[in-house]
Amino acid sequence: AQTGAPMGARGRRRVSSQPIEIRAFRAGDEPGIIDCLNRILEKPHTLEEWSWRFPPSSSGRPIVIALRGEEVVAHVAATPARFQIDDRIFGAAAIESGVADPSVGDADARRELLSDVTESLIFECLEPGDVDLVYCFGDRDDVIEWAAAVDGSSVNLPGIEVLRRHDPPPSRIRRLAYRAEPARDWEPRLEGLWQRARGAYPAATVRDAEYSLARYSGHPTVRYHRFLVFSRFAQEAVAFAVFCCDEGTCRWIDLVWDHKHPGALHLLSHLSARLARQVGVEKEEVGLAGDPEGRSLLGRLGFVEQPPAISVSLGVRSAALEIGRVQTPDRFFATLADLRSR
């Protein structure tokens, strides 16, 4: 991989029998991208959902495509994010979608094309200077291959431990010291919560108001149940959780909590059990990495680990940070929300 503008971003290349152009996304490319995704992926994609996931912004969409004539044959897209390493917060772009059509050639040809498209996207993100790093999170083999292809670095995480509960125990009185209320689409109280809780998450995607708005507000088909938890007579949030009920399971999609308030998890456990009963699902599920205290407490609340853990890695391309050299894997925090790009 080259630093600076990749070859494909400035002209054409030949991977299949026709030349392929790599360029940044333009308005009007959406139908071709959806056609490309639906040719390649098993899960059907709609324009409505894709547009929700990668909405327009004043700074443009961090998306790059490859065209063979008028046909989109590869697509890499990212979403704006902030990433925390100890006391530093980096402007970031999180790669959440990357595909190449089998019609462009064999596995090596597809890998080469996808690498060039990704390199172009990285250039588009890093060159203006607003973004410090581009990262992806997912299957270890895929991330290691991605990092090598774009001259980045990667770190293998211990894995996201999945905990499951079928029969919640009776609620404990401890939760009565706390209260919960539904979180709003724009939730500025998350800023203060993250500042108070961030010491427990030394390496993580920042969970703030912008993050919550982009990930959980207005999905066209999925309903997210979002709650903030407070000490009963206080105004500062001490926990935030997102639940989603489908396929017979109430999943804790996301979780941030102030570790000085274990009672907040007791209340969230109660809310999870009540929500599961209300929608008629049989089990509850949590996925956590980098939060041993939370995992232990949930275990005492009836959640049982379901080995093996979900194998994941983090890949980073950045001039500001060598991720593999400055961190130990068990310091990275992740929830099921971080698997959105899988």
Q: Over range 134-145, report the average pLDDT.
A: 86
Q: What is the pLDDT of residue 171?
A: 61
Which of the two residues, 232 and 4, has the higher pLDDT score?
Answer: 232
- Over 90: is that where the pLDDT of 269 sits? yes
Q: How far apart are CA 94 and CA 82, in angstroms?
A: 9
- Over 80: is that where the pLDDT of 32 sits? yes
Q: How far apart are CA 263 and CA 140, in angstroms?
A: 35
End-to-end CA distance of the chain: 24
Q: Where are the alpha helices (DSSP H) in the chain?
A: 30-40, 47-53, 107-126, 140-149, 189-197, 209-216, 262-279, 292-300, 323-326
Q: How far apart are CA 317 and CA 143, in angstroms?
A: 11
Q: How far apart are CA 54 and CA 67, in angstroms?
A: 19
Q: How far apart are CA 143 and CA 93, in angstroms?
A: 15
Q: In the structure, what pLDDT confidence band is assigned to residue 11 with cuts at 50, 70 and 90?
A: very low
- Over 50: is that where the pLDDT of 302 sits? yes
Which residue type, as a one-letter code, is found at position 262?
P
Neighbours of 7 (CB within 10 A): 13
Over the stretch 102-133, which tens digit does the pLDDT of each residue have? 999 998 999 899 999 999 999 888 877 778 89
Which of the two residues, 187 and 234, has the higher pLDDT score?
Answer: 187
Residue 190: phi and psi, rounded to 5, are -65, -25
Measured at the CA of 210, the angle between CA 205 and CA 216, to 5 degrees, comes to 85
Q: What is the pLDDT of residue 172?
A: 60
- Over 90: is that where the pLDDT of 311 sits? no
Q: What is the pTM of this model?
A: 0.88
Instruction: Find the length of the chain.
Output: 342
- Over 60: is that where the pLDDT of 12 sits? no
Q: In the structure, what pLDDT confidence band is assigned to residue 173 with cuts at 50, 70 and 90?
A: low
The alpha carbon of residue 242 and the mean position of all alpha carbons in its chain are separated, in whole angstroms, by: 13
Q: Which residues pair with 76 in a beta bridge?
A: 64, 98
Which of the two residues, 317 and 258, has the higher pLDDT score?
Answer: 258
With contact defined as beta carbons under 8 Å apart, do 201 and 333 qualify?
yes
Which residue type, as a one-letter code, is found at position 239?
A
Q: How far apart are CA 125 and CA 167, in angstroms?
A: 47
Question: What is the share, in percent, of the chain residues with pLDDT greater than 90?
Answer: 63
- Over 70: is that where the pLDDT of 243 sits? yes
- Over 60: is that where the pLDDT of 342 sits? no
SS3 label, residue 244? strand
Determine how β-strand 249-257 pairs with β-strand 71-85: unpaired
- Over 70: is that where the pLDDT of 14 sits? no
Over the stretch 46-81, which tens digit does the pLDDT of each residue have? 999 999 999 987 777 899 999 999 999 999 999 999
Helix (H) or strand (E) run with residue 246 in it: strand 237-246
Mean confidence (pLDDT) of the chain: 88
Over the stretch 313-334, which tens digit does the pLDDT of each residue have? 888 888 776 665 555 677 889 9
